[in-house]
Amino acid sequence: MDLFKVLTIDETRKLIDDKFSKIMGSETVSILECTGRILYNNIKSKENVPDFRRSTVDGYAVYSRDVFGASETIPSMLDYKGEVLMGQEVQEEINFPGECFYVPTGGMLPKGADSVVMIEYTDKLDDNIILASKPSAPLENVIDIGEDIKVDEVVIKKGTKLRAYEIGVLSSLGYSVVEVYKKPVIGIISTGDEIVDCDDEKKIGQIRDINTYLLYSLIIESGCIPIKFGLIKDDYNMLKNTFKDALSKCDMVLMSGGSSVGKKDHTVNVINSIGEILVHGISVKPGKPTIIGKAENKIVFGLPGHPLACAVIFKSIVKNYIDKIMEYSDISYPVESKFEINYHKAKGREEYLPVTLHMINGEMISKPVFGKSGLITGFSKAWGYVRIDRNEEGLKEGQKVSVNKF
């Protein structure tokens, strides 16, 4: 048996960058359907927001100089000229010193007014005279024209994942449709004589398919479209035909299982029959026997059969490529915690250690989830994982670590 010629995670990502230049095209969708989509172009404002001076409080629109020095003992006397109605353009204006208009929150200021005195600091002497007991500086209690967004300002940058907040901004700027990256279509092939579907009757020696459903959900979470190509037995011709079908329909293919070097592991031979193997072995735990290939100018991932290893490789390698072809920079914010115990690992291999999180005496504590290679408890119980660098020999009790969510 030949030993793997392994690459580090960083080396693997660089190799993928060097070998694949694909960028997804675009499509135009309604802003009601673009939540979670990646923006294809910069969004520039077509107008000032707001495009008129508006009040942030209920009060009286004034020329600030007319209330300079106003106090409770010596209030400024203002000539009341009327009320500004919400949603209407104000035709009136302040023409003479001391004039004022009542304006509600969000209302438009009349011409000549540059500030608003809050209604709490005013009294009505009669129907025509308002007493202001507090001064108001220029633009106090006012949102100026373009203060939020200016014409031609880039409001949302290309490559942004659109959330409810960005969609609200789009609607405020008059965008009812937006150009986004097309969703990559990703094929899933699971292999193995011992694998049966989750709703099939299981015999002794068989295990139910986990990775198809795990990958299907991860693909959706990543903003892509998954296609299942079924469970394929350890048969070379059957796997090759299914692989060719997946290549014709998808932007990339994920093959789960068959990435080791056993006699029945046909993944390498099938990929080589149509394309080439670029990577067979990554210096990471779990996930060392990962395969990366190129066929018909498309990337192919041969993922380990162990669900935890499969998830780790998806998060660290596959997701990185998905983000690249949609020109999206995914920024994650890990949870900082203290590691609970001393933990030793083999030097020279990057490790993704599954952990649980607990709050103890006001401190966040991370605890490793131990399990043998073939068990799924580490995958099912873990909140996230701690990445341990290849040059580190482990973690010490009480050491501060960053926990990334699965």
Q: What is the pLDDT of residues 323-359, one digit of tens each?
A: 999 999 888 889 999 999 999 988 788 999 999 999 9
Structural domain of residue 374, as residue ranges? 335-405
**Residue 264's pLDDT is what?**
47
The answer to which of 159-163, 218-222, 326-330 has the lowest mean pLDDT is: 326-330
**Residue 194's pLDDT is what?**
83
Q: Judge if 20 and 30 occupy the same domain.
A: no
Q: Judge if 399 and 362 occupy the same domain.
A: yes
Task: Flag whether pLDDT at 2 surpasses 50.
Answer: no
Q: Looking at 162, 181, 200, which one is the last position of a domain?
A: 181
**Residue 371's pLDDT is what?**
67
3 assigned to some structural domain:
no
Cis before 184? omega within 30: no
E strand or H helix at 231, and its extent?
strand 225-232
**pLDDT per residue over 130-159, tens digit each?**
999 999 999 999 999 999 899 999 999 999
Task: Flag whether pLDDT at 228 surpasses 90.
Answer: yes
Give the list of residues 6+ apart from residue 4 with CB closer than 8 angstroms, or none: 280, 281, 288, 289
Placement of tokens 């960058």 in the chain: 17
**Residue 3's pLDDT is what?**
45
Q: Are 335 and 387 in contact (CB under 8 A)?
A: no
Per-residue pLDDT band for 197 (boundaries 50, 70, 90) equals confident
- Separation of alpha carbons 109 and 359, rounded Å: 52
Pair of tokens at residue 83: 């009320």
Per-residue pLDDT band for 376 (boundaries 50, 70, 90) equals low
Q: What percent of the chain has pLDDT over 70?
A: 95
Per-residue pLDDT band for 200 (boundaries 50, 70, 90) equals confident
**Residue 93's pLDDT is what?**
93
Q: Are 107 and 88 in contact (CB under 8 A)?
A: no
Query: The CATH number of the domain where 72 resides is what?
Result: 2.170.190.11
Task: Flag whether pLDDT at 69 surpasses 80.
Answer: yes
> What average pLDDT does this structure show over 31-40?
96
Pair of tokens at residue 197: 């579907």
Q: Looking at 94, 116, 143, which one is the last position of a domain?
A: 143
Query: The CATH number of the domain where 43 resides is what?
Result: 3.90.105.10
Burial class from Cβ neighbours inside 10 Å (0-12, 13-18, 19+) for residue 274 reads middle
Q: Judge if 86 and 124 occupy the same domain.
A: yes
370 assigned to some structural domain:
yes
374 assigned to some structural domain:
yes
Predicted TM-score of the model (pTM):
0.82
Q: What is the mean pLDDT of the chain?
A: 91
> What average pLDDT does this structure show over 98-121?
96
Q: Judge if 208 and 227 occupy the same domain.
A: yes
Per-residue pLDDT band for 263 (boundaries 50, 70, 90) equals very low
Task: Flag whether pLDDT at 379 surpasses 80.
Answer: no
- Give me the number of domains the chain comprises: 4
**Residue 395's pLDDT is what?**
94
E strand or H helix at 356, and its extent?
strand 350-360
Give the Å distances, CA to CA, from 382 to 200, 315, 339, 356.
Answer: 27, 15, 14, 5
**Residue 64's pLDDT is what?**
97
Q: Judge if 343 and 258 occupy the same domain.
A: no
Q: Judge if 268 and 316 occupy the same domain.
A: yes
Task: Flag whether pLDDT at 66 surpasses 90.
Answer: yes
Per-residue pLDDT band for 39 (boundaries 50, 70, 90) equals very high
The answer to which of 3-17, 176-190, 331-345 has the lowest mean pLDDT is: 3-17
Cis before 50? omega within 30: yes
Give the list of residues 6+ apart from residue 74 with CB closer than 8 angstroms, or none: none
Q: Judge if 314 and 349 occupy the same domain.
A: no
Q: Judge if 279 and 199 occupy the same domain.
A: yes
Q: Judge if 33 and 163 occupy the same domain.
A: yes
Q: Judge if 238 and 309 occupy the same domain.
A: yes
Query: The CATH number of the domain where 376 resides is what?
Result: 2.40.340.10
Per-residue pLDDT band for 234 (boundaries 50, 70, 90) equals confident
Burial class from Cβ neighbours inside 10 Å (0-12, 13-18, 19+) for residue 155 reads buried
Q: What is the DSSP letter of 136?
A: -
341 assigned to some structural domain:
yes
Q: Judge if 155 and 172 occupy the same domain.
A: yes
Q: Judge if 19 and 30 occupy the same domain.
A: no
Task: Flag whether pLDDT at 101 surpasses 90.
Answer: yes
Q: What percent of the chain has pLDDT over 90?
A: 76
